[in-house]
Structure 1
Amino acid sequence: MAPIVHVAVASFTILTLKILVELISVSIRSPLSNLPGPPSSIFLGHIDQLFHPQGWDFHMKTVAAFGTAVRLRGFLGEDVLYLTDPLGLRSILTKEHGDIYDEPPMIIEQNKLLWGPGLSSSTGAAHKKQRRVLNAVFSVQRMRMIMPILWDVTRRLEESLAKLSRGSCTEIDMLMWMSRVSLESIGQAGVGVPFDTLAETSPPSEYMLASKQLIPLSFPLQGFMRLIPSIVRIGTPRFRGFLAKIAPHPNIRKLREIIYILYNTNKSMYQQRVHVIMQAEKIGGAENTGNDMVSVLIQQNRGVDAVYKLSDDELISQMGTLIYAGHDMTSVALSRILHVLSLNQERQERLRLELMDARVQRRDISYDELMVLPYLDAVCKETLRLYPPVTQLHRVPCKDSSIPLARPVMGIDGETIDHICIGAGTTVVVGVAAVNRDPAIWGADADQWIPERWLGPLPETVVGAYLPGVYTHTMTFMGGGRSCIGFKFAEMEIKTVLYVLLSRMKFEPSETPIVWNMFNFATPTAQGSDGPCMPLKVTLLSE
């Protein structure tokens, strides 16, 4: 046996040396080799720090200390460019190179497995076609039409929380209630289907409980996710489903169950909406099928040219994407705003006075009136700037390109770098949270929550940065062809919920500390809890 052992050890040594030589060779040949960056491990690079649940300081401080373009490492030393330079972001998202930068293949394939061939999993011409059809249902005019639906949903939330608080200071898990109201809002206004009565005695919907597990289950599988583009080429969908069912990792098996629950629900809801529309058309009443976005989308899709028409599978996928993104991102944004306000009673009271003044005889104000309430707008903008639900997003070029920098960085060799050559397939991390806190843009108090900064003219450093984000000088909802198409709906829902709740209730911090985890969507957890939650003390105010 000894000779075999010696051969095995020798083989392993030779293989290890070959890997190390290749890593060194790649490092020397890399077009990013002159960029500065923090030290990393040989095999995992900076993956652990990039995706650590408490990786806030790594993104906001460690990486930021090296400039607006930083070289990081991925698995086995592969190049990763961390980018926060405004000109560089414009270049890859909206200008000269916007068409060659897209989501990484593993993200595209992961989204396809979760939702099907929809907006989040399509690329190139298919993505543009879908976005063109979807743009109409997210217009300001459409927001005005569905506003009454949100008032109705939020009033039900208000009644339940009022009963739970019983007129006294009561601790309530506000993350759970923000998730419930967000799902019901997107259910009613987005797909025309109720998910939750929002009664204080009723349990959350199965759909919400299932979708809330997606991020916590998939986040620890970053290494496995890299294999998805190869795995999806193996056999048939049925065979791949079987492989997932017997996978050794329990998260993969659980994700399979959740995907089936969500898809079957989405398909059933789609068929239900199609049936309602067809029945209405038979009696000449198609205009009475509802104002929800999916019903409008189905009807509009039937009238477009064949080249732009979406298939049933694409429409079902849009529903899943719409429900998930519209419910999860909005619920954590609302939770963050309530948490921040609970920690700052003076500003909470200032906002409450503005909302009570607008709430004349408990009437529901219009979309346009709600959107221009100055302090409500300032609180939303500042919280979404400082605490974006998504900390980072990734892009990959399909061919070699050169990225210009507005703020050149000092290379390792001491030379100034104002353009970065990047190879095809190189991952670019868009540092959403980091650029939103950039002191060169927002000033020395960039990492402080100051809503008042939005009440007057913004500094020239903010306006002149020309960040390519679609939302008010920040990258919170990204920019370019893959920006968040539903950000207007999210903003409207957030403001509606705050308008109703803060007019009648006071929120204070719980005795249990809240910890925010940096998953795909930032998620709160109470110290000692088993899962996501955010208990706050709620007091019903006298009318």
Structure 2
Amino acid sequence: MANLLYVTALSIVAAYVAARSGFPYAALIGFLLPVGYVIYLVFIYPFYFSPFRNLPEPKGAKFPWAHAAEILEGRNGPAYRKWMTTVPNEGIIRLRVLFNQERLFLTSPEAMKEVLVQKTYEFAKPSQPSFLFRQLLGNGILVAEGGEHKEQRKALLPAFSFRHIKELYPLFWNKARESTEEIAKASKASGEPQKAYEWASRTTLDIIGQSGLGYDFNATSNPDGKIVQNYRLIFDNEPPNFKWTIVGIWAPLELIWYLRIPPLKYGKMIADSIRSFLTKRVQEKRVMLEKDAASQIDIMSIAMKSGQFTDAQVVDQMMTFLAAGHETTASALTWAIYQLCNYPDIQTRLREEVLSSLPSIRDPNSTITATQIESLPYLNAVCNEILRFIPSVPTTVRDALVDTTIQGQFIPKGTRLFLSPWAMNTSPTLWGPDAQDFNPDRWMALGMSNSGGSKNNFAFLTFLHGPRSCIGKDFAKAEFLVLLAAWVARFRVRWPEGQALGMDIHGWVTVRPEHKMPVVFEEVQC
């Protein structure tokens, strides 16, 4: 799309020059040049000259949206899951999006390994979403590339070490207990179903606030706080750029941004408000570190103590972790509630394990350890199966920075790749014939607690792999385990009478239910 604009501009210049020179057909040339190029680009190149023309692709694509129509219809995951199993391929499927622009959908562990591990820095996240993330969140680890990403990751890794995370389990438990108290109060006061996603989002925001900043937002007890409201507005109104970039619409985003066209203007105002709070928090943290650096163990403190970041760069990192660090786990917890409502027998079995092994969630003085949580095999199995079956980030995208190859296939610079955890995580080739069934017991068999019986490490793509894998993977899993244990121990969750809900997927970067999962939280004896 961008090339078309350049050629159009060039043709206008050429026509102008021809007209000034007195050439009689200048206007016709100015018209035919871009029209001819469009015809070539849209109807000739993809089918006769593209290096991808012989790759398999799904059937039924109709002009102009081609395969993008199905992506748009089902959000950013279900279509890939279907194509993985219905299109015979050897690791790469060609997709066509708006006006037959080509995309490659990777489907094999070998292809994933090349992109994510062996050639990590030959591929980058698309420039337009990255530009928008930089404007809203700053140049944090989410969007940093190349050597800059390596340095940032190295400096932040101590905050996500197992030794550090295990110290946070009591904090997770305490916030989980607080959330169960507030959910119980709200259920009794209203007599109505409660929206699981909203409670999950507020709870995980509190957790990342304390573990990330050493600051309590009190989001669980106060949904009207400014930070809580800001994040609700951001995630309820995801910028449309993410959606349209996926399906092939190019736009001069930099120009649009600087013109402050809504809704980007509104998003910037919210982001600036959060950034102002974090800037003040960094200044306060500097004073705390000078007094007692050893006692400051939150992510912000560790980043500051590394000496690798300026105060402004620390703010960038915390903007990233506050946004990504609570939304993904909130989505996972919500989908867990969804599946437990659908499978009450699984819910009962899970509750029995939790109640027999952990202290009462009603006891305000109770606490837990990492060892206690990790010793619950069915809890770990259920959480792993949720993360496998409904990963919060359904698809990730990469652009080739240089001419390269994947599985011997030539990949020109600029080629866009789709890597879909939704698809890889449910591939029958990798997981067996029941791959697209929700089955926690796959993680319970002897020797299967870490693999679920999958045949390859790249079968589980929820947190990606390699140098750009999720730095907060172990943090997120620990938080998820504790929250689900607490909620199941305190409540029996079920659909309102006669109102079993579908997934109703919302969002493009992370997926959660549009209806926010209204369910009945029925207290149980514990």
> Could you say which TM-score interval applies, normalised by the shorter chain?
0.7 to 0.9
- 1:2-401 correspondence runs (5 A): 15-27=34-46, 28-38=48-58, 39-54=60-75, 56-62=77-83, 64-66=85-87, 67=89, 68-95=91-118, 97-166=119-188, 170-196=192-218, 198-199=220-221, 202-221=222-241, 222-223=243-244, 231-232=253-254, 243-244=259-260, 247=261, 250-278=262-290, 280=291, 285-288=292-295, 290-299=296-305, 301-302=306-307, 309-360=308-359, 363-401=366-404
Summarize deviations over 1:2-24 as a string: whole Å, max 9, x none: xxxxx999976774443112334
Aligned residues of 2:223 and 2:229 also touching (Cα < 8 A) = no
* Structure 1 stretch displaced more, 29-38 or 73-82: 73-82
Aligned residues of 2:159 and 2:302 also touching (Cα < 8 A) = yes
Which amino acid in 2 is paired with 1:446? A
Summarize deviations over 1:422-471 as a string: whole Å, max 9, x none: 11110110021101110111111111100001001449997674334xxx
For residue 85 of structure 1, report the CA deviation from its aligned partner. 0.6
Secondary structure of 1:477's aligned partner: coil
Unmatched segments (≥5 aa) in structure 2: 1-25
> How far apart are the structure 1 equivalents of 2:160 and 2:32?
58
> How far apart are the structure 1 equivalents of 2:52 and 2:62?
17
Aligned residues of 2:106 and 2:419 also touching (Cα < 8 A) = yes
Aligned residues of 2:205 and 2:219 also touching (Cα < 8 A) = no
Which amino acid in 2 is paired with 1:287? A
Summarize deviations over 1:142-170 as a string: whole Å, max 9, x none: 01122222222122112112222339975
Summarize deviations over 1:179-214 as a string: whole Å, max 9, x none: 100000000111111112522xx3343323323443
Q: Residue 90 and residue 313 in structure 1: after superposition, are their counterparts in 2 closer, same or farther (change >3 A)? A: same
> How far apart are the structure 2 equivalents of 1:78 and 1:174?
39
Residue equivalent to 1:412: none
The structure 1 residue matched to 2:461, chosen from 475, 478, 492, is: 475
Which amino acid in 1 is paired with 2:230? A
Aligned residues of 1:167 and 1:540 also touching (Cα < 8 A) = no
Q: Residue 89 and residue 463 in structure 1: after superposition, are their counterparts in 2 closer, same or farther (change >3 A)? A: farther
For residue 262 of structure 1, report the CA deviation from its aligned partner. 2.5
For residue 398 of structure 1, report the CA deviation from its aligned partner. 1.4
> How far apart are the structure 2 equivalents of 1:460 and 1:112?
35
For residue 98 of structure 1, report the CA deviation from its aligned partner. 2.2
> How far apart are the structure 1 equivalents of 2:421 and 2:448?
20
Aligned residues of 2:325 and 2:476 also touching (Cα < 8 A) = yes
For residue 101 of structure 1, report the CA deviation from its aligned partner. 1.7
Secondary structure of 2:121's aligned partner: coil
> How far apart are the structure 2 equivalents of 1:54 and 1:117?
27
Q: Residue 463 and residue 535 in structure 1: after superposition, are their counterparts in 2 closer, same or farther (change >3 A)? A: closer
> How far apart are the structure 2 equivalents of 1:504 and 1:168?
18
Summarize deviations over 1:240-288 as a string: whole Å, max 9, x none: 76511xx2xx32232222222232222222222223223x1xxxx3323
> Given the alignment of the two structures, is residue 497 of structure 1 paired with residue 487 of structure 2, yes or no?
no
> How far apart are the structure 2 equivalents of 1:298 and 1:348?
42
* Structure 1 stretch displaced more, 496-505 or 422-431: 496-505
The structure 2 residue matched to 1:438, chosen from 422, 427, 438, is: 427
For residue 298 of structure 1, report the CA deviation from its aligned partner. 1.2
Residue equivalent to 1:306: none
* Structure 1 stretch displaced more, 326-335 or 38-47: 38-47
For residue 220 of structure 1, report the CA deviation from its aligned partner. 3.0
> How far apart are the structure 2 equivalents of 1:31 and 1:216?
40
Secondary structure of 1:537's aligned partner: strand
Aligned residues of 2:56 and 2:93 also touching (Cα < 8 A) = yes
Q: Residue 130 and residue 229 in structure 1: after superposition, are their counterparts in 2 closer, same or farther (change >3 A)? A: farther
Unmatched segments (≥5 aa) in structure 1: 1-6, 235-239, 303-308, 405-418, 527-532
For residue 178 of structure 1, report the CA deviation from its aligned partner. 0.5
> How far apart are the structure 1 equivalents of 2:138 and 2:61?
36
Residue equivalent to 2:414: 425
Secondary structure of 2:398's aligned partner: strand
Residue equivalent to 1:448: 437
Secondary structure of 1:538's aligned partner: strand
Residue equivalent to 2:511: 522
For residue 43 of structure 1, report the CA deviation from its aligned partner. 4.6
Q: Residue 264 and residue 26 in structure 1: after superposition, are their counterparts in 2 closer, same or farther (change >3 A)? A: farther
For residue 45 of structure 1, report the CA deviation from its aligned partner. 4.3
Secondary structure of 2:434's aligned partner: coil
TM-score between the two structures when normalised by the length of structure 2: 0.85
Summarize deviations over 1:470-517 as a string: whole Å, max 9, x none: xxx510111112111101111111111112221121100135424223
Residue equivalent to 1:407: none
* Structure 1 stretch displaced more, 496-505 or 132-141: 496-505
For residue 371 of structure 1, report the CA deviation from its aligned partner. 2.0
Secondary structure of 1:141's aligned partner: helix
For residue 63 of structure 1, report the CA deviation from its aligned partner. 5.2
> How far apart are the structure 1 equivalents of 2:285 and 2:44?
57
Percent of residue pairs identical: 24
> How far apart are the structure 1 equivalents of 2:81 and 2:471?
26
Aligned residues of 2:341 and 2:493 also touching (Cα < 8 A) = yes
